[in-house]
Structure 1
Amino acid sequence: MSAVTIEDLHRIFKNLDKNNHGRVSIHELHHLLENVSIHTTLEELEKLVGDTSLGYMDFLFFYETIVKARMAESKDGSSNDHIEHDDKYRVDDLLKAFKVFDLNGDGFISSEELQSVLSRLGLWDKKRGQDCKEMIHVYDQNLDGALDFEEFKVMMSSPPTSDSEI
């Protein structure tokens, strides 16, 4: 089985988001999970997710959580080769995602680039008054006002908070 890419996850999210409002409901997510033989109740799923719907970034983190849980369940004392292999795919996928946001190819994601990409993906709502500079500042370890790839990896592997939700 091949690894699921960030593009695959984006396509899945868009297909689940039938009304194009940028969120996937627990019911839509439950249906997907049932189709891939992950059985849970709506109540359990809502407790796990912590909300009645997921934005795109929350969906990505939910997927990552499910994959990690599945890998932990499947550990049977065999070598870690498949884990290292999966980590390589994860870094490759993160690099591809980083390049999507790094519009000018300078190795950094500026607040303008972040806002531009989020707008194209339909994930940016100007009315909410959120500033991409604030979003970047949360993960900008060297405080240069932009995210390099290492800071981007930290951002993508950190659990979402209500303050950082898009």
Structure 2
Amino acid sequence: MSTKEVILNKIQILMTKNFDSPEKAFQFFDDNGDGKLSKKEIINLLKDAEISGFIRGVVAVKLIEAYDKDTNGSVSWSEFKFAIDEILN
């Protein structure tokens, strides 16, 4: 299994075990309630998913690059939902 697959699998486990819906997960990690996940908030999500501290920052940047369709430097609810749908499928 590649590193990417391991990371996505850990995120999937976090989402399915701890939250009733992706929306509840998003709200939980959106610390300031602005409707977007910042790099710091994504790092917290990755920490809860037990992603190694050594690579957490790099993974957060890569996730933002991959899913931030409006290029505002954060992940909105619709972008997050797209990412989670992709991970769960």
Q: TM-score, normalised by structure 1?
A: 0.40
Cα distance, 1:59 vs. partner? 4.1
8 Å CA contact retained: 2:30, 2:36: yes
Distance 2:12 2:41 in 1: 21
Corresponding residue of 1:5: none
Return the index of the structure with the highest Cα Rg.
1
8 Å CA contact retained: 1:133, 1:145: no
- Once the two structures are superposed, the pairs formed by residues 43-122 of structure 1 within 5 Å of their partners are 51=1, 55-59=9-13, 93-119=21-47, 121=48
Secondary structure at the counterpart of residue 158 of structure 1: helix
Structure 1 residues 93 and 103 mapped into 2: Cα distance closer, same or farther (>3 Å)?
Answer: same
Root-mean-square deviation (Å): 2.9
Letter in 2 for 1:56: K
Higher helix content, 1 or 2: 2
Cα distance, 1:140 vs. partner? 0.6
Corresponding residue of 1:126: 53
Corresponding residue of 2:63: 135
Letter in 2 for 1:145: G
Cα distance, 1:60 vs. partner? 7.0
Cα distance, 1:122 vs. partner? 5.1
Corresponding residue of 1:82: none
Gaps of 5+ in 1: 1-50, 64-91, 161-166
Give the % identical residues. Answer: 28
CA-to-aligned-CA distance 1:102-160 (integer Å, 9 cap, x gap): 011111000111112322x1523122362412211101110111111100110001147
Q: How many residues are paired up?
A: 79
Kindly indicate whether structure 1 or structure 2 has the higher relative contact order, using CA contacts under 8 Å at least 6 residues apart.
2
8 Å CA contact retained: 2:10, 2:49: no
